[in-house]
Amino acid sequence: MIDRQFGRVVICCDSCDETFEGERGEEFDSVWPAAKRAGWRTRKIADEWLHGCPFHGVPK
Ligand SMILES: [Zn+2]
């Protein structure tokens, strides 16, 4: 899931507490490619995007 804390985009793993934080003021569109390079994956289930950290991979 995607969260926003203090002006930062925070990508949270839906399987554990792992997070990936963007820089302050950085938009999701530029945070996500960086997260993907770090091994994060996403999957759309129904209307919801699930996110998986590098340890969990694509959310089930
Ligand atoms: Zn995880």
Q: Tens digits of per-residue pLDDT, 23-58?
A: 999 999 999 999 999 999 999 999 999 999 999 999
51 neighbors 41 (Cβ within 8 angstroms): yes
The span from the CA of 56 to the CA of 38, in Å, is: 12
The alpha carbon of 55 and the centre of ligand 1 are apart by a number of angstroms equal to 6
29 neighbors 18 (Cβ within 8 angstroms): no
Q: What does the pLDDT read at residue 14?
A: 96
The alpha carbon of 27 and the centre of ligand 1 are apart by a number of angstroms equal to 22
The alpha carbon of 35 and the centre of ligand 1 are apart by a number of angstroms equal to 13
What is the pLDDT averaged over residues 3-14? 96
